[in-house]
A and B are shown apart, each in its own frame.
Chain A
Amino acid sequence: MESAGFVSISEMEPILRVENVRKRYGKREILKGVSLSIRRGELKVLIGPSGGGKSTFLQCINYLVTPDEGDIWLEGRHIDHTHKRELYRYRQQVGMIFQDFNLFDHLSAVQNIEVSLIHVKRMDRKPARERAMAELERVGLRGHADHYPAQLSGGQKQRVSIARALAMDPKVMLLDEPTSALDPELIGEVLSVIKDLVANGMTMIMATHQIGFSRALADEIVFMEDGRILERGPPLKILSDAKCERTREFCSKITELYGEAD
């Protein structure tokens, strides 16, 4: 509890710091040294053309893709990803949302959430079920607890996957184009869940082309192309007054495509 006007040092320090991540597949260099740090409660939005490395970068952050080089610190602690147990512990603290949801097809909505509570967090079944139901409630799907993924719409699936990640109490969430696979009319329900997360102070790094959303809520927009960060800055600056020619070009294109409205 800080008194008004006083900001503690720990709050100024990044909760997650990623330094100089490089990744190559054969001859193709996908990430050419990307660094990013984020403070508690911030939302950083990654934009840029597909193939630019956004997705690989996000997957490198929780070592779903092992970077060739680069270091990561979570709350000041350097992560040694070669140490299995440390890696598993770290991943529990970094939630990930995928473009195509990746729910477990053989489990109902509520089971999708409780399975990791039971088998990763080693919670007992009863509290795990209660927590899973609470998370479903939070994304407005309490009534769909017993539905299987194949019985849910895309928007509902993505909300379940967000609930699943939230149940692990992550310190940071990575969202990889969470609305790109959705019908236009389903995007709103997912964005509104994400907005709630922002309002509740969740720390997030999100790749998205939802410009209206980013303009309104992002603390910083990061433009990535060709495995590099070309430019970064506050939304208004990047979207309407970018220094770099490529950034301006890209922003005007997606603004045209995805509209001003959110």
Chain B
Amino acid sequence: MEELLFLQREILPALFKGLKVSILLIVPSAFCGLCIGILVGALRVYGGAAARRIADIYVALFRGVPLVVQLFTWYFGLPHVGIYLSPFTASVLGFSLCSGAYHSEYVRGALLSIKKGQLLAAQALGFTKLRMVMIVILPQGLRRALPGCGNELIYLIKYSSLAYMVTCIELTGEAKILASHSFKYLEVFFAVGVFYLVLVSVAGRLLHYLEEHLTLPGFEHHR
């Protein structure tokens, strides 16, 4: 009984507060990350030599350095050169750049899988390169990239918990504070686990729905 009261009075309000911050972190990071990923992925396949090189370096850097190190750099490092970011901004920036690097890899793979004949056909019709990519390649490529990108979005939900390392108190941060005050680690973190599980499940359903919705006639999955 006492446990239930603690759950209702202490844990849930704190976690809901944290959940709100988490969602505020995840949504813009997911959106920006995806945009960066599409842009960088497309540049890595269809960009000029210089653009391709820059994009490759970006991916090598942001995929190669641990996310915590990146977050620390944005939040604790940048003030040394006179740039001050709020914990929230530093987190969204870090998540977007990191997730963009991973997305770009899924997008690149998907773009490469589009048959070359369709590019030839678009060129033969007089499409400019930019329009060919925007109108013929990306709509097909992104459909194929969706399962991979969805995976990255799910992953983002979970690594958003790192924001508390740069003092942006989201779901995990709230739990950490609550647990260290009450010493009820098991109850608190069990509840946090359930929160993340629900978040991920909802995202998973949405992605699945999107995938079904975007399936082209004649390309239905063979089940």
Chain A residues with CB under 8 Å of chain B are 59, 62, 64, 84, 88-89, 91-92, 94-96, 98, 100-106, 115-116, 119-120, 147-151, 161, 164-165, 168
Q: Are A89 and B219 in contact (CB under 8 A)?
A: no
B73 touches A (CB below 8 Å): no
Q: Are A104 and B131 in contact (CB under 8 A)?
A: no
Given A102-B120, A150-B218, the answer on whether A92 and B140 have CB atoms closer than 8 Å is no
Q: Are A105 and B127 in contact (CB under 8 A)?
A: no
B8 touches A (CB below 8 Å): no
Q: Are A105 and B126 in contact (CB under 8 A)?
A: no
Residues in chain A near residue B77, CB distance under 8 A:
none
Q: Are B126 and A91 in contact (CB under 8 A)?
A: yes
Given A102-B117, A104-B136, A115-B135, the answer on whether A91 and B218 have CB atoms closer than 8 Å is no
Residues in chain A near residue B123, CB distance under 8 A:
64, 91
Q: How many residues does chain B have at the interface if contact means C-beta atoms less than 8 Å apart?
A: 22
Q: Are A151 and B136 in contact (CB under 8 A)?
A: no
Chain A to chain B contacts (Cβ below 8 Å), 30 pairs? A59-B120, A64-B124, A91-B123, A91-B126, A92-B126, A95-B124, A98-B117, A100-B117, A101-B117, A102-B115, A102-B117, A102-B121, A103-B118, A103-B121, A104-B118, A104-B121, A104-B122, A116-B126, A119-B131, A120-B131, A147-B217, A149-B218, A150-B216, A150-B217, A150-B218, A150-B219, A151-B218, A161-B121, A164-B125, A165-B124
Name the residue on A nearest B220 (C-beta). A150
Q: Are B218 and A148 in contact (CB under 8 A)?
A: yes
B182 touches A (CB below 8 Å): no
Beta-carbon contacts under 8 Å, B60-87 to A: none
Given A100-B117, A102-B117, A106-B140, the answer on whether A91 and B219 have CB atoms closer than 8 Å is no
What number of A-B contacts does a CB cutoff of 8 Å give? 76
B143 touches A (CB below 8 Å): yes
Count chain B CB atoms within 10 A of each CB in A84, A92, A119, A150 and give the residue with the most: A119
Name the residue on B nearest A65 (C-beta). B120
Contacting residue for B121 out of A88, A98, A106, CB 8 A? A98
How many Å lie between the Cα of A161 and that of B117 in the bound state?
Answer: 12
Contacting residue for B216 out of A102, A119, A120, A148, CB 8 A? A148
- Expressed in whole angstroms, the minimum distance between the Cβ of A16 and any Cβ of chain B is 15
Residues in chain A near residue B124, CB distance under 8 A:
62, 64, 91, 94-96, 165
How many Å lie between the Cα of A199 and that of B170 in the bound state?
Answer: 73
Residues in chain A near residue B135, CB distance under 8 A:
115, 119
Q: Apart from A98-B120, A103-B121, what 4 extra A-B contacts exist at CB < 8 Å?
A: A102-B121, A105-B219, A116-B126, A164-B125
B128 touches A (CB below 8 Å): yes
Residues in chain B near residue A147, CB distance under 8 A:
217
> What 6 A-B pairs are tightest by C-beta distance, nearest first?
A150-B218, A92-B126, A102-B121, A96-B124, A102-B117, A116-B125
- Expressed in whole angstroms, the minimum distance between the Cβ of B134 and any Cβ of chain A is 9
How many Å lie between the Cα of A106 and that of B117 in the bound state?
Answer: 14
Residues in chain A near residue B126, CB distance under 8 A:
88-89, 91-92, 116, 120, 168
Cβ contacts B140-171/A at 8 Å (1 or 0 each): 10010000000000000000000000000000
Contacting residue for B120 out of A64, A115, A150, A164, CB 8 A? A64
Residues in chain B near residue A148, CB distance under 8 A:
216-218
How many Å lie between the Cα of A64 and that of B124 in the bound state?
Answer: 7
B13 touches A (CB below 8 Å): no
- Expressed in whole angstroms, the minimum distance between the Cβ of A30 and any Cβ of chain B is 17
Residues in chain B near residue A115, CB distance under 8 A:
135-136
B139 touches A (CB below 8 Å): yes
How many Å lie between the Cα of A91 and that of B139 in the bound state?
Answer: 23
Residues in chain A near residue B139, CB distance under 8 A:
106
How many Å lie between the Cα of A101 and that of B118 in the bound state?
Answer: 9
- Expressed in whole angstroms, the minimum distance between the Cβ of A115 and any Cβ of chain B is 6
